[in-house]
Amino acid sequence: MIVFHIDMDSYFASVEQQARPWLRGKPLVVSGRPDIHSVVAAASKEAKRFGIKAGMPTWEAKRLCPHVIFLPGDPDKYESVTRRFLAILVTYTPMVEVYSIDEVFLEATDVVRRYPDPVALAREIKARFREELGEWITCTIGIAPNKLLAKLATEQAKPDGIRWIKPEEVPAVLKATPVEAVCGIGPRIARRLAHMGVWTLADLQRIPEAYLRRVFGVYGRVLHLWGQGIDPTPLRPYWQEEDEKSIGHSHALPKPLRHPEGAKKVLHYLAVKTARRMRENSYVGRVVYALYRDEELGYHGAQKALSVPTCDERVIYETALA
């Protein structure tokens, strides 16, 4: 199997630079509302040279680059461009999985037979993006036997590059890839693996699957397969609908509401929005999960299972508050 992972570079910022020529070549950050404490949603290539990256607080981005330009996000614009690049990709194959607004996977095994090699197809896709979307909207393409390795290839080729991991290269890639570089292995799991002497994906091969399952539960099976360079996740094309497993909303607290009573008002607002969406989709839920981030950017959260499934905002609010 040949899988392509296509990741748009600095997507929101690049779309803005394409739409507004006067922003090209300048450090740009797309974030939430500029009048409240927010985070960087996307940073242009120029902003990244100053160390600015997605997820960073806007105040820190301003400290790293005092002349950075901030723009509020424009979801409608980004979704429009996403629909346009998806329309290009489905001319090659219907086997397109939409991973996020700026990332997709393609199952390209049959398509590449019409080209000298997979890289030739990747170059054609990049050329069409440049021609039909605009020269400032670029992408990075990773090619590999599965989704896990294709995503790793993309990370190695950023920005605006192409990387093909051939089957014979997989053992070397596993030896060179730290476990924390894999999407799905966070700091907590990485620390637990380090205590076992596991630093790279190849190191996982030394740990018996039974032991990984005992420590990590069913996730241990996934870790075992990743250590072999195998990804058990199927590619799910966009036309195969998948039921939502969770529904939620978040909101950055404006300064006037950064006190306990203000936080309760925002929590109630989020409970109402969540419950409304659940009712619109005829959903009910049994687990309420509440999460907040403090001033030092630390995350705190807890969840509680309900005895009876609900879509009532009062129940959701009171459970989250407790």
Burial label for 276, CB within 10 Å (0-12, 13-18, 19+), is middle
Q: Are 269 and 248 in contact (CB under 8 A)?
A: no
Relative to beta strand 299-310, strand 285-293 is antiparallel
Amino acid at 270: L
Element (H, E) at 128: helix 118-133
- C-alpha span between 303 and 322 (Å, rounded): 10
Of 35, 14, 33, 121, nearest to 78 by C-alpha is 14
In whole angstroms, give the CA distance from residue 242 to residue 121.
29
CA atoms of 40 and 64, how far apart (whole Å): 13
Compute the distance between CA of residue 245 and CA of residue 211 in angstroms, rounded to an integer: 29
User: What are the structure tokens assigned to 314, written together?
Assistant: 């009062």
Tell whether the torsion through CA atoms of 146, 148, 87 and 10 is positive or negative. negative
- Catalytic, 103? Answer yes
**103, 155, 169, 209: the active-site residue:** 103
Cβ burial, residue 256 (10 Å; 0-12/13-18/19+): exposed
Residue 253's H or E segment, with its range, is: none
Give catalytic residues, as residue numbers.
103
